[in-house]
Each structure stands twice: as structure tokens, then as C-alpha cells.
Amino acid sequence: MASARERTTPLAAVLAVALLLCPCRGDVVQFIFGDSLSDVGNNNYLTKSLARAATPWYGIDFGSGMPNGRFCNGRTVADIVGDKMGLPRPAAFLDPSLDEDAIFKNGVNYASGGGGILNETSSLFIQRFSLYKQIELFQGTQAFMREKLGAVAADKFFSEAHYVVAMGANDFINNYLLPVYSDSWTYTGDTFVKYMVNTLEAQLKLLHSLGARRLTFFGLGPMGCIPLQRYLTSTGACQESTNKLAKSFNAQAGAVVARLSTELQNATFRFGEAYDFFQDIIDRPYMHGFNNSRAPCCTLGRIRPTLTCTPISTLCKDRSQYVFWDEYHPTDRANELIALETLRKLNITVVSNGTSS
């Protein structure tokens, strides 16, 4: 984005006029904040990060089939939800091609693998953007666009955008549930969830103060059933204690989102979740067209857990039959079902069939 600041852009003046004269623009954009479930490449530019989707076989079913920063074989839930709503896909904040024209047409994705609601989450990964850091980067984007469009047009642009926040799993899996983090012995499960929710409330209020009016927060899935958590048990079953934390967080975060939607001026804040549906996919995979909901598609055979998919990993024969891509993340097909259920529960009408890559 630095190069964009250095050049003169007469188009910016045209964009500003268009914003002011046309109150019903069709090119409403998204600003996405999240973790590896929504990352579209930011961590690939964080060269010291230990959470990067920069190697095969990530992205094998997306576009050219080359790694693109998504921690999946294909699309993320945020990709699919946006596609179905007819919204453009925003580029990663660190994408060198991002300039004012791309921001105006598509928005920005700040999501970062390993990112958490709490600043201390995933510190073992060395580099990642926490939610507070992502909001700080968004403030920089706002300053940049005000410089290009003028304050009035830029504020109108940001107030009309859609905002997505999808965070929280790392705060448990890569913080509270690991004894190397002080939070694991400082808090009980209940007090840690309260700490997270209080922090999230402050962050959502901050986004509202920065102009976010239409915001959806995506709740957690049954994270005790991801392959890594299953592997850590003696029976291979889901870790119900971990799932209990996710359900507690969803209940409290959902209540906060609903309350803020009534308390904050002109706010339409919604809580999107598909916990029970995702649990049913895991419990009864055959009813949803899968034949494996326990193991990842991309593995090193019996060597587990490998945590990430690697170039020397082997792939399952049919990726559409697996619920999980690697030890943490769902496959493209599972993401599509989760996205459609989330939209259904939000009563959002699908206006586009979306794209497959």
C-alpha cells in the first residue's frame, strides 16, 4: 500500500464524487477480521511466522491450485458467505497489489493465522496479528482512504461496508489449553471465557466507534472435535471439556452482540454460528455426504499430529469425502455447508451462487 500513497490518482476524486452522489451503490465491500479460518494470505507475508499456509497442498482446489494463504484446500467460510451475499472478496492487507482502488472495490481482509481476541494468544507462532492489531491496521486503512477520498466520502464508504469478525478458537487451543501460557493457570474455564468476552465487547465497541454499522461475529464450532484434539485423547473421541468452553463462549458472546446491536447507535450487529450443525456433520458424516470426520485429509500417514499440511504429506483419495483438511481446519466442502447453515440461521437470502475458486 506504500506505493499507492506515492502516486497521484485522479480516479480517487471520481470515486469520492460517486460515493457522495450515489446513495445506493452496488459495490458495498467487506472488512474481515479473523484467524486462520479467514486468512487469505496475510501470514504468508509474515516471513517469521510459524503459522503459514505457503506450501503445497494448501490451495489445491482453489484457482491455479497453488498455495494462496488459505489454510484449506479451497475456500474459507468467509469466502463463501461473502460470495453467497454477492459481496466481493477482499484481498489480504499485506498483499502488495492492494491500493485505494482495490480497497474501494473489494475492502480488506486483515485475518491472520494464529490470531486471537487476546494479544497474548499464539505468541509461540512468533508473528501473527491479534484482533487489536488488526483493528489498528484498519485504522491505518481509514486514514489512507480519507487522504485519497476526503473525510466525508471515506466515512460514508466505511459506514456502508459489511464487517466480519471471526475469532476465538486460538484463544483456547493456542493459549488457555496450553500450560506454557500463564492464562492457563491464571484463570478457570469460566473466568477465562468471561475475560475473552469482556475483551471482545471492548473491541466491537471500538469498531463501532470507527464506523462499523453492519457487523457479523462468527461463533465457534465444536473445537474439541478437530483432529488434533481427538488425537490427544486416549480414545480418539471429541474432547467434551473443550467443546463446553466453545459453547459457553458462544452463549456469552452471542448475548453481548445482541445487546450491542440495541445499545449502539445505528448498529446492526449479528451473531452467526453453526455449532450444532457442525457437530452433526462430525457425529453423522454419512448423512451429509462425508465418509470421514475424524482424521485429516492431508497427513503423513501414521505420523501424527503433523499440525500442518506439508509438501511430503499424502492426500486422501477424495477430498470431498473428508470433513477436515488438516489437524485444525475444515475442507472446502465442509466450509460450504457450514457457511450455508450460518446464512440460514441469520435469515440472509442467498443472492449469488458464488464461485468455486
212-255 per-position pLDDT tens digit = 999 999 999 999 999 999 999 989 999 999 999 999 999 999 99
Quick check: is 326 catalytic?
yes
- Whether 115 has a pLDDT exceeding 70, the answer reads yes
User: Residue 106 in 3-state DSSP?
Assistant: helix
Quick check: is 320 catalytic?
no
* pLDDT tens string 314-343: 999 999 999 999 999 999 999 999 999 999
* pLDDT tens string 136-156: 999 999 999 999 999 999 999
Please check whether residue 300 is in contact with residue 42, taking contact to mean a CB–CB distance below 8 angstroms.
no
Structure confidence at residue 356 (pLDDT): 53
Query: What's the number of domains the chain is made of?
Result: 1
21 falls within a domain? no
12 falls within a domain? no
79 falls within a domain? yes
Distance (Å) of CA 316 to CA 137, 257, 326: 38, 39, 11
Looking at 35, 36, 49, 112, which residue is catalytic?
Answer: 36
137 falls within a domain? yes
Q: Which pLDDT band, with edges at 50, 70 and 90, does 353 fall under? A: low
229 falls within a domain? yes
Structure confidence at residue 234 (pLDDT): 87
* pLDDT tens string 163-222: 999 999 999 999 999 999 999 999 999 999 999 999 999 999 999 999 999 999 999 999
Structure confidence at residue 6 (pLDDT): 39
Looking at 95, 313, 329, 332, which residue is catalytic?
Answer: 329
144 falls within a domain? yes
Structure confidence at residue 169 (pLDDT): 98
Q: How confident is the model over 81-108, as a mean pLDDT?
A: 97
Quick check: is 288 catalytic?
no
- Residue ranges in 122-239 assigned as alpha helix (H): 131-149, 151-160, 169-171, 183-186, 189-209, 227-231
Structure confidence at residue 98 (pLDDT): 97
Q: Which pLDDT band, with edges at 50, 70 and 90, does 354 fall under? A: low
240 falls within a domain? yes
- Whether 8 has a pLDDT exceeding 90, the answer reads no
* Domain CATH code at residue 331: 3.40.50.1110
DSSP-assigned states of every residue in 3-33:
HHHHS--HHHHHHHHHHHH-TT-S---EEEE
Q: How confident is the model over 26-38, as a mean pLDDT?
A: 91
The model's pTM: 0.92
Please check whether residue 126 is in contact with residue 49, taking contact to mean a CB–CB distance below 8 angstroms.
yes
Distance (Å) of CA 224 to CA 54, 119, 150, 221, 279: 26, 23, 47, 9, 10
Q: For residue 120, what are the domain limits?
A: 30-346
Distance (Å) of CA 12 to CA 7, 100, 148, 164: 11, 8, 6, 26
Cis peptide before 305, with omega less than 30 degrees from 0? Answer: yes
13 falls within a domain? no
Q: How confident is the model over 260-279, as a mean pLDDT?
A: 98
Distance (Å) of CA 324 to CA 109, 134, 226, 305: 23, 27, 8, 13
User: Residue 196 in 3-state DSSP?
Assistant: helix
Structure confidence at residue 19 (pLDDT): 44
Question: Which DSSP category does 89 fall into?
Answer: P
User: Residue 299 in 3-state DSSP?
Assistant: strand
